[in-house]
Structure 1
Amino acid sequence: MLYTELLQLWNQAVQAVDKRDWEGALSKLNQITEPTSRTLFVTASAYLALGQLEPAVKALDQVIAKDERLAVGFFQRAGVHTLNGRLEEALSDCIWAQKYMRDNSVIDYRQLGLRYKLYSWQVLYNAAVVHCRLGLWEKAGSILEKASKEKGGRAGTVEVALESLSRKEILDPLLVPEGEVFRPRKQDIEQLQQRDFLGKAKVISSMIPNDDFGGFEPLRMQKPGYYEPKGDPSQDSCYMRLRSPYMAHGPEELSVPGGSIVFVFSNANAEGLVTVIYDGQVRRGTLGVDNDQCFLIL
């Protein structure tokens, strides 16, 4: 399937997750014919929120198959295995998650679209949970002691768990919070929306004085006198094209590229002199004729 189609369905699924519409999210996700590890993680999260542990595990199996070094995938599957009573599988996943932490105390997944930080103490915590459920209380306690020395925002979680272990109370595993899923990049979603790359045409520099037309030249309304600035009725005016480029020799002259069109006023009272307008500038010059073709001598 096209990547744009995947993005659309993924984004719609995430919007459904934000509304806690888990069935709606799954409906969109199931339309993705070539899921990625991140879209499959969303699928697993939706099944988990619905309390459907087996489908959640199967989705997490695919997440890890797609990205075998995704520590948070092993961490999440360890928690689901624990809830499902598969303690050996859960412990194995804790070990894999710890391995792919790569000696880091924390991995921040925000760059991948998941607003979640996975701490090494959380992985150890889930390993302790497995051991306490296996009845290995001392081992669970020693793992939690190690977790208490790890860096990260534990907010007393490990300390409370140690107290619970002293009373031989079964602990619940930690999971990525409900609703926290991998999201497509905002920039990618914005590019899916229809955009007007041309925009409305604007006149930046017109060859026609007092021009405020904003369309394409062939579409301009054509009617006599439409372009011509208002002036003295005794003046004749017209457009002329400069045969060759002219470089100004002083502030009283104009520099005009060859082939450019200028607007010319001629005054009967000033023989041979004309007023020339080009690019918003006004200068005086003389008018010549060559082979019955008008041209300007500035």
Structure 2
Amino acid sequence: MLYTELLRLWDGAVQRADSQDWEGALSQLQQISEPTSCTLFNTASAHLMLGQLHLALKALDLTIGKDERLAVGFFQRAAVMMQIDRLEEALSDCIWAQKHMRGNTVIDYKQLGLRFKLYSWQVLYNAAAVYCRMGQWEQAREVLLSASQERGEVRGGNIEAALDSVLREEVLAPLLVPDNVVFRPRKQDVEQLQQRDFLGKAKVISSMIPNDDFGGFEPLRLQKPGFYEPKVDGAQDSRYMRMRVPYMARGPHQLTVPGRALVFLFGEEDRDGMATVIYDGQRGLLPMSLLDPADVKTSKGKKQNRVPSGIPLPPGLTPPTRPKAQHSPAARPRVSFSSDTPPPSYSTATHATATRAPPSASDPPPVHGQPSQRPGNIPRETLHSEL
């Protein structure tokens, strides 16, 4: 069983116990498939309030089975044992309760969710009540005297009044955990059961649809060239409509629309025959009987940025063309080279007659009758023929 479900049923049982609805509390506790010692103790308390002693005793047996050192469980079971005349078992439970107090004069169960403090004198008081039912008055008086000698306890006049009753041989009534005291779940755990909205409600900040207040989610849809049709929950058949005849507003939230006007059907038809539409950036009501389906198509070569209903078009899917370069009138004219004109790779300085440099030591000696092979002395005709 999930711990959250256990907490929910446990808290519901405690709330019904606070309102004295013990049958409702018992119904909530019995739905717990894996009870704890705390919830079983509350079940026993509910049976006690309903007068079902044997069922309460069975629930206390299960409580002690879950927690064998729960002193308040032995204390409560001893009181129930006395009411059904199982005195020897009641006295045994008093002894076990005193033992599990581990020498403490008081145990505060507030940390476990039970607003109750169990004092050692209360355990001794119940033991004296058992001796009274057994007719052992002297034993009862000795137990009460030992309880009166303990210090640091809030007893009031209970022990003194009990001693007077024992001297008169009057049977003492057993002490029980108060009726409205039950184990409660931790407040922090119960608060976490409530759903919290950490993100807050979605708010439309910017939308392509006028007066759009839809804050939900919808899957991504491919946009097609043409009119944008918003999609909202409950309006899967939204479409553009055209007014058959003019219509004047006759009530609240109605629109005044001329004839043949293009509107967008935003909602479904209601019981009065009115439908929610968008016209000229406003949302309102129009009679559904005056609307006809309209086939809206854009003409080729003509792009509209906004339709009469106020709904813009999506951006175009065709990218813009690259602009053509425009030449200024003062642009430099092209130069055509003739066969006698050297190519542009040769500048005037390169093609000018070069001055013969003095021969270096690495140059071969010139041969008489042949021209030099240095680049500066190559004839123009030779260059043209090689090119």
* Alignment partner of 1:50 is 2:50: yes
Whole-Å Cα distance in 2 between the matches of residues 63 and 49 of structure 1?
A: 17
- SS where residue 107 of structure 2 aligns? strand
- Deviation of 1:83 (Å): 1.0
1:135 is matched with 135
1:240 is matched with none
* Alignment partner of 1:174 is 2:157: no
- Deviation of 1:153 (Å): 1.2
- Deviation of 1:149 (Å): 1.8
1:220 is matched with 206
Please, what is the CA RMSD of the aligned residues? Answer: 1.5
- Deviation of 1:198 (Å): 2.5
Listed as ranges, the gaps of 5+ residues in structure 1 are: 202-213, 224-298
1:35 is matched with 35
Q: Which has the higher strand share?
A: 1
1:242 is matched with none
Whole-Å Cα distance in 1 between the matches of residues 72 and 153 of structure 2?
A: 16
2:162 is matched with 161
Percent sequence identity is: 68
Whole-Å Cα distance in 1 between the matches of residues 167 and 111 of structure 2?
A: 39
Task: Provide, for residues 98-144 of structure 1, a one-character-per-residue CA deviation record: whole Å limited to 9, x for no partner.
Answer: 00000000000000000000000000110010011100000000000
1:152 is matched with 153
* Alignment partner of 1:122 is 2:122: yes
Whole-Å Cα distance in 2 between the matches of residues 75 and 198 of structure 1?
A: 50
- Deviation of 1:197 (Å): 2.2
Instruction: State the structure with more CA Rg.
Output: 2
- SS where residue 126 of structure 2 aligns? helix
- SS where residue 81 of structure 2 aligns? helix
Matches within 5 A, 1:223-242: none
Matches within 5 A, 1:5-84: 5-84=5-84
Relative contact order higher in (CA < 8 Å, ≥ 6 apart): 1
Which amino acid in 2 is paired with 1:192? L
- Deviation of 1:220 (Å): 3.5
Matches within 5 A, 1:272-283: none
- SS where residue 107 of structure 1 aligns? strand
- Deviation of 1:200 (Å): 6.3
- Deviation of 1:160 (Å): 0.5
Matches within 5 A, 1:83-102: 83-102=83-102
- SS where residue 153 of structure 2 aligns? coil
2:198 is matched with 197
Corresponding residue pairs, total:
208
Matches within 5 A, 1:243-262: none
- SS where residue 192 of structure 2 aligns? helix
Which amino acid in 1 is paired with 2:189? D
1:3 is matched with 3
1:248 is matched with none
If the length of structure 2 is used for normalisation, what is the TM-score?
0.52
